[in-house]
Structure 1
């Protein structure tokens, strides 16, 4: 089942990741008059930054609640930006509508990566640019997802992969991306950046992470079981061990997460 990104409070995660949107949008300037599509716009970080710089912006997100959050943020800041409900497999904009298509830690979660790439290339203008970000293996983001994924697999079982299911794409791997984009006539370049996430303690970091849609979805699934409370406590302990191992600041909490900025153009 596809994750409902409207669960929990993604707003906190969006605030933490704002510096990444600032990096990505900064790489795209000047933006005045450019048509920008922000795919997986979430709370509107990248879309609003582009709108501030004079772009004509359309944000697209599958979560209706987050679309409403982004619309409200735009109104509060007096910015003109359109936000639509839609997903990476069927982007609700016309062919060639984007001079610039952005996707900050969003399209990497699309259930069918190749369908998403086909859609991104469809809506990008002939001389347009696609710029997206992806986590690089390692760091707290990937570690938490791996620990949680393994635990949920132990609890609910994980049968053999469906051979008809789309194969996952390594969105951080330049060679894999070149192969995926090549059929659409796009070349790919990749830069590596890093963001440091901080908190007063590993416990506080984990507590804040518990409001992420992935964490809320897992908690709901566990709560439906008669032993759900014990299972949630077990998962929390495993996650705490993982983040403590990654912690770079013995007096508080800090972890560096590398991420890739991928640029694709014809």
Structure 2
């Protein structure tokens, strides 16, 4: 076996390990409840921004439980929702049945999609593809499966917004990222997205918007909720479970962050910033 073959095999094994870790992380807690309670309107906003219409063939990448895929199906589109985590897909199937809509659910890696070139009229992702560790690979697949003239659309959390700042607060307590992995909130920077999409799209439009989250009674309630239901937060706390002092530090950091971003006028509320991206596939 040549050195090149051994290196290639090692790369494949390392990538498989990364994806297995991501799959396990997103199965922790109860992301379906979080998405439904905190950000249900984001999927509809993305579908409307993409102009999804009846008869369109739509792919939702890293779809989770179908926050965007289900509204696209309700608009009459032929929808495929794909995600790395089977548990989220199963929750999405249940939710689709509840809404009495039909769509296809596929387990798939955003960095190696099992679809043909130019197969879809619209390819979108709602706070999903941004968590794929290798941004160029994921962007390449996003573009590859969209037909020339088709629509690409994304909603991504910004680095400066609340969720981006939450990931920054958790970083010192998390395990080191695998080699080559890039931070998810980079997908919320306009210049990063322009670089990723390059000349494969025309007329990209990018708008920073916010979603209001007013479910929590206060900063500590937010922190405790995320500790219980959000996979990435649960994984970070598990990483430091043997150090009560570090757990207490992170407890304070997350509550302080929520307090900084929250408003007490008429009840505690936060506005979470995201970047809405739409573009046309060139070619």
TM-score of the aligned structures, taking structure 2 as reference length? 0.83
Q: Could you say which residue in structure 2 is the equivalent of 1:6?
A: 27
Q: Distance in 1 between matches of 2:233 and 2:260?
A: 20
The one of 212, 231, 235 equivalent to 1:217 is 235
CA distance change for structure 1 residues 145 and 175 in 2, over 3 Å: closer, same or farther?
Answer: closer
Q: Distance in 2 between matches of 1:144 and 1:168?
A: 12
Could you report, residue by residue, the CA deviation over 1:66-108 in whole angstroms, capped at 9, with x for unpaired residues? 0100111112222110111112101122221110011001111
CA contact (8 A) 1:121 1:184 kept: yes
The one of 105, 120, 136 equivalent to 1:114 is 136
Q: Could you say which residue in structure 2 is the equivalent of 1:249?
A: 264
Q: Could you say which residue in structure 1 is the equivalent of 2:6?
A: none
Q: Could you say which residue in structure 1 is the equivalent of 2:279?
A: 264
Q: Does residue 202 of structure 1 match 2:202?
A: no
Q: Distance in 1 between matches of 2:224 and 2:213?
A: 14
Query: Which SS does the other structure have where 2:273 is aligned?
Result: strand
Q: Distance in 2 between matches of 1:61 and 1:30?
A: 20
Structure with the higher helix share, 1 or 2:
2
Q: Distance in 1 between matches of 2:259 and 2:265?
A: 9
TM-score of the aligned structures, taking structure 1 as reference length? 0.88
Structure 1 runs, 4 residues or longer, greater than 6 Å off: none
Uncovered stretches (5+) of structure 2, i.e. residues with no partner: 1-17
Per-residue deviation, 1:117: 1.0
Q: Distance in 2 between matches of 1:234 and 1:179?
A: 36
Per-residue deviation, 1:261: 0.7
CA contact (8 A) 2:53 2:76 kept: yes
Q: Does residue 88 of structure 1 match 2:104?
A: no
CA contact (8 A) 1:133 1:261 kept: yes
CA contact (8 A) 1:60 1:84 kept: yes
Per-residue deviation, 1:212: 0.3
CA distance change for structure 1 residues 179 and 230 in 2, over 3 Å: closer, same or farther?
Answer: closer
